[in-house]
Chains A and B, each alone.
Chain A
Amino acid sequence: MDFYYGMAQLIGVHTLLGLSAYVVLLTGQVSMAQAGFFAIGAYLAGMLTVLAGWHIVPAMLLAAVASAFVATVVGFPALRVKGLMLVVATLAFGEAVRIFWFNFDYQIAKGNIQVGPLGGEGFKQIRYFPENGWSTADVALFIWAWVIAAMVALWWLDRSRVGSVLRAVGEDELAAQSVGINLTAVKVSAMTIGGFIAGLGGAIYAHYTTHIEHLNFGVILATFAIAYPILGGLSSVIGVLIAVIFIQGFLVEVLRFMGDWRNLLFGALIVLAMNVRPDGLFDARAMRTLRRLFGARDA
């Protein structure tokens, strides 16, 4: 049973990561910086619970706020550019964050061992859950409470005026600007929300793996972050969840018997999926069909 709880934890954390990229993608911006915000959340929350002895919830919230703040600061200069330039700028920012933690040492003695992040060796012993006697099931429930909260918040956001504004910017910047939408404000807000969610995800990630190092937060993770919403489709938050379950659940776990061939299949499947369904698995038409199936009126 623990295996399934572990799986649920992994899917939950990756869903948060995917959601953080989803918000930014709604405004038409491809941000490869999500892994960087994720790393900031992970290291800060780990330091708060391990070094400062905080409870996990305030530690997570503070780490997420810090990530959101960094996202705002990065957002202003980075969002002056678009398209390829933004991809490169955010990619570079994410890598810079990773290298920063690679060179970051801050250890204090706790009992007879040294704890804290130690450069290339990473940050070991983030043992908040085991120390406080949380079982795997508790942790899985805890993670999913956050995931559901984030999904409901984003779903509600999507139905509100804010969602329309975000999508308007994503569809056509010129048209959005001409009806009086402040592009910079919208994009930086999306980036901030994305940074907050990524920070939350990172904070949880640090605590359930108990050991983080800079290599966990590289370009590959940034790629995964944008892959979930793009593969799942930008029509709904459900798409992100489906894509995470498909990749982390089906590709990684169910196909485990295929061994290393899995990774080959992974690349090939992305190429195939984008050729067959360039709008994502759940595009607008699929969502309409789903709504009809469940008897709801077209929104």
Chain B
Amino acid sequence: MSDFWWDVIDPIQSVLDGVMFGSIYALIGIGFTLIFGVMHKINLAYAAASIGGAYASLAAFQLLSAPALVVFLCAAVASGVIGYAVYICCFRFIPEHLPLATLMASVGMLILIDEVVVHATAGMPEPYPAMFDDVMIDLEPFWVRGDLLMIFVLSVIAMMILLYILYRTRLGIATRAVAQQPAAAQLCGIGQQNTNAVTFIITGALGGLAGAMVGASVGILSPLLALPLTVKGLIVTVIGGLGSIPGAIVAGLLVGGFENVFQYFRGVTERDIYVMLLLFVFLTFRPQGLFGRMSTRD
């Protein structure tokens, strides 16, 4: 093959890897967007709770040496529990008309979760189990990393389960009703507080899976992962359109591919500047995001 082809193939390869990693951003973005859709509030502790859940699942890995898939499920369960705790501490008892207070409380929770993790692990990164990390699928001329493919597939399965819950179960109808019209939903006998709590648990579980995926793809878990993941998740939420789940999915994959191709061209220290620029382009030319309606602008 000529040199020209190699120049093209490498960037495409990095887009592929990035898009697969982007499924993690999509999961985090869905969490932010779902909570925003239901409560019209931001839960800044969300990504920290995801990483916290992944850390909790390390107990299953280190003490019971459970297989990787079980560890991932443990992360989802643990993060669901943390999600409920976040709801109780930051959203349940703070009056609804004070968005600044809930915002700040969730920041406090972010710091708290991060610090608990730092304390439990003495701040050292911990190895995290992966699946298929020694597999390389050869699709001439491209390579597909086995662990990234596994992340992608697991994320897609998690999204399908979420969409099933939202659109095919009574719980999902209740959630969407509260998102649309809290007062009317309450008049129909849907408990707003209960629905909100369940939303936090479901998104928490989703986030826990995302946290586990981060650990599996990077190979280690570190409390330093929480803040960048928060920033990327929020960017994905805004690019996708607030409250739009398909938007979060597409934007997650887009941001993943975009950042990886710029990492290839410009290096790891500069790549995030281009992600921010992408965000500003969207804010300027399409402030409602990819799939958002103008009315969802808050």
Contacts and interface: CB of A to CB of B under 8 A. Distances in A.
B276 interface: yes
B36 to A, nearest CB: 6
Nearest to A96: B276
A92 to B, nearest CB: 4
Contacts of B197: none
B111 A267 contact: yes
B115 A267 contact: yes
A260 interface: yes
Contacts of A81: 283, 287, 297
Contact of A84 (B36, B93, B115, B279): B36
Nearest to A214: B269
Interface residues of A, number: 46
Interface in A87-103: 87-89, 91-93, 95-96, 99-100, 102-103
B298 A84 contact: yes
B223 to A, nearest CB: 11
Given A84-B242, A260-B119, A103 B269 contact: yes
Given A77-B284, A271-B108, A85 B115 contact: no
B231 A92 contact: yes
A45 interface: no
Interface stretch (A149-157, A219-227, A291-299): A219-227
A256 interface: no
B98 interface: yes
A219 B89 contact: no
Contact of A231 (B104, B111, B119, B280): B104
B110 A218 contact: no
Given A77-B283, A275-B105, A91 B231 contact: yes
A85 B109 contact: no
B133 interface: no
Interface of A: 25, 30, 77-78, 80-85, 87-89, 91-93, 95-96, 99-100, 102-103, 120, 218-220, 223, 226-227, 230-231, 260-261, 263-264, 266-271, 273-275, 278-279
